[in-house]
């Protein structure tokens, strides 16, 4: 039986959900599971899609890259899922990619990522590098000074994100004093912070994730850094990490993100209230990675409804859903962060970047918001590679390279 025949024979819509419910990344990934289930519940309570209920199949990746590779295969081959929501680190994305591509599967990646790839089996609902630090770096230089120490977890996203941030530092007269990396999950950070303190930067630019980030902020507070003069500026340390580390430890630090729980608009107020009061709201806060995951499910629902206007279940493919997603918008009335859309060429989302400072209540005060949407550009630092289009990477010599990976 083919996948289409198997889908047509069902009376539900199987989807995969692969995040880490356990391990050193669960501090952020567990809430992505929660909001996915919340969004699916809401779809089902409203009658489902095309007369069918959505059935989520969960796989705990246990904060392990290899387990992600195993899990995506099980979701596709054992459960026959139509698409999968999942992945937090770029290492996990890259581990899943061979199976995703080989099976012509559709992966929704709801997290920040570095770019430098053009894959026709992914819809990216988290910010790419040029949507994150392009305004954060000049903001930090203007308000705190030009000298920065860079620190990150040791995998592809922090290294590439730091390369982008270095470019912005150069453009705005900044200087990177040092750049250091910790193995994923490492929490022994005392020596690292002692070195940074001796270098006396104006700010610290952090791309640490998971428990490593929590340990870094806690040690920063313990040794008495002055966060008013030398704050940590991050692309990832959100309301969820602040809740885990303690509000007093997160207070005063800076985050660049497309979404904060504190955003003042009616859609966000409804979303925060409904999600946190639901059976899935045990995280106690919303944050940008959670909201980007929520947007992924909303985008899937809308694209599937569009696809079913011209396809029946026996003919439906992941390509149909992807094609229906080109240019798809989520308006102010449905998106908690406000109007966003999926770029019709590279299938990344257009966002309004924002910069916030954590307050004593663990919530972020928005200090700066872009005056317009920033379009995603996966090759912002590598224009010589070409342009990502819906059929592949269009190179300067006229070639089209499908699923171009680094």
E strand spans, 36-130: 53-60, 84-86, 107-109, 117-118, 122-124
Three-class SS state of 61: coil
Do 318 and 104 contact (CB within 8 A), yes or no?
A: yes
Q: What is the mean pLDDT of the chain?
A: 95
- In this prediction, residues 299-308 reach a mean pLDDT of 98
Q: Which own/partner contact pairs does 110-113 have at CB distance under 8 Å and 24+ positions apart?
A: 110/32, 110/85, 110/86, 110/289, 110/292, 110/293, 110/295, 110/296, 111/87, 111/289, 111/292, 112/157, 112/161, 112/235, 112/236, 112/289, 113/157
Please name the helix (run of DSSP H) or strand (run of DSSP E) that holds residue 11, with its range, or none.
none
Q: Distance between alpha carbon 401 and the CA centroid of its chain, in Å?
A: 25
Distance CA 300, CA 126 (A): 14
Q: What pLDDT, on a 0 to 100 scale, did the predictor assign at position 405?
A: 87
Q: Distance between alpha carbon 84 and the CA centroid of its chain, in Å?
A: 15
Say which CATH topology domain 130-262+355-369 has: Rossmann fold (3.40.50)
pLDDT above 90 (res 381): no
**Closest to 215 (Cα-Cα) out of 195, 234, 247, 241:** 241
- Residues carrying CATH 3.40.50.2300, the chain: 3-127+266-273+288-350, 130-262+355-369
Q: What are phi and psi of 346, to 5 degrees?
A: -100, -5
- In this prediction, residues 249-268 reach a mean pLDDT of 97
Cross-strand partners of 204: 149, 232
- In this prediction, residues 86-93 reach a mean pLDDT of 93
Three-class SS state of 165: helix
pLDDT above 90 (res 223): yes
- In this prediction, residues 234-257 reach a mean pLDDT of 96
Per residue in 4-36, pLDDT tens?
Answer: 878 888 999 999 999 999 999 999 999 999 999
Per residue in 103-120, pLDDT tens?
Answer: 999 999 999 999 999 999
Q: What pLDDT, on a 0 to 100 scale, did the predictor assign at position 320?
A: 95
Looking at 3.40.50.10490, 3.40.50.12780, 3.40.190.10, 3.40.50.2300, the CATH number of the domain 3-127+266-273+288-350 comes to 3.40.50.2300
Q: What pLDDT, on a 0 to 100 scale, did the predictor assign at position 45?
A: 98
Do 337 and 257 contact (CB within 8 A), yes or no?
A: no
Three-class SS state of 12: strand
pLDDT above 90 (res 83): yes
Q: What pLDDT, on a 0 to 100 scale, did the predictor assign at position 176?
A: 98
pLDDT above 80 (res 1): no
pLDDT above 80 (res 124): yes
Per residue in 135-174, pLDDT tens?
Answer: 899 999 999 999 999 999 998 889 988 998 999 999 999 9
Q: What percent of the chain has pLDDT over 90?
A: 91
Q: What pLDDT, on a 0 to 100 scale, did the predictor assign at position 129?
A: 86
- In this prediction, residues 367-391 reach a mean pLDDT of 94
Q: What pLDDT, on a 0 to 100 scale, did the predictor assign at position 256?
A: 96
Distance CA 134, CA 85 (A): 27
């Amino acid at each position: 039986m083919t996948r289409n025949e198997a889908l047509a024979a069902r009376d539900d819509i199987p989807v995969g959900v692969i995040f880490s419910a356990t391990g050193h990344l669960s501090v952020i990934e567990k809430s992505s599971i929660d909001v996915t289930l919340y969004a699916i519940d809401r779809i089902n309570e409203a009658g489902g899609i095309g007369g069918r209920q959505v059935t989520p199949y969960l796989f705990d990746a246990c904060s392990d890259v290899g387990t992600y590779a195993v899990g995506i295969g099980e979701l596709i081959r054992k459960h026959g899922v139509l698409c999968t929501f999942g992945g937090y680190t770029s290492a996990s994305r890259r581990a899943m990619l061979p199976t995703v591509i080989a099976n012509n599967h559709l992966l929704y990646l709801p997290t920040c990522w570095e770019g430098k790839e053009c894959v026709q089996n992914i819809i990216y609902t988290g910010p790419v590098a040029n949507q994150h630090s392009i305004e954060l770096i000049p903001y930090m230089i203007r308000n705190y000074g030009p000298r920065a120490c860079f620190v990150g977890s040791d995998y592809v996203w922090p290294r590439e994100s730091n390369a982008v941030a270095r470019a912005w530092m150069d453009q705005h007269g900044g200087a990177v004093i040092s750049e250091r990396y910790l193995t994923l999950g490492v929490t022994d950070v005392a020596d690292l912070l002692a070195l940074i303190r001796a270098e006396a930067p104006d700010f610290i630019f952090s791309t640490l994730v998971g428990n490593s980030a929590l340990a870094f902020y806690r040690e920063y507070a313990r040794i008495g850094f002055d966060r008013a003069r030398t704050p940590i500026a991050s692309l990832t340390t959100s309301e969820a990490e602040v809740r885990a580390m303690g509000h007093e430890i997160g207070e005063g630090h800076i985050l660049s993100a497309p979404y904060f729980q504190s955003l003042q608009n009616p859609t966000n107020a409804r979303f925060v209230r409904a999600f946190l009061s639901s059976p899935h709201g045990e995280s106690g806060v919303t944050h940008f990675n959670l909201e980007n995951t929520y947007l992924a499910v909303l985008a899937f629902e809308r694209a599937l409804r569009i696809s079913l206007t011209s396809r029946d279940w026996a003919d439906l493919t992941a390509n149909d859903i992807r094609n229906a997603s080109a240019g798809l918008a989520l308006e102010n009335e449905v998106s908690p962060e406000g109007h966003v859309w999926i770029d019709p060429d590279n299938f990344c989302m257009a966002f309004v970047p924002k910069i916030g400072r954590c307050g004593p209540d663990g919530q972020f005060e928005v200090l700066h918001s872009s005056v317009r949407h920033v379009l995603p550009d996966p090759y912002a630092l590598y224009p010589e590679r070409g342009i990502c289009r819906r059929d592949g990477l269009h190179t300067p010599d006229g070639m089209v390279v499908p699923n171009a990976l680094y």
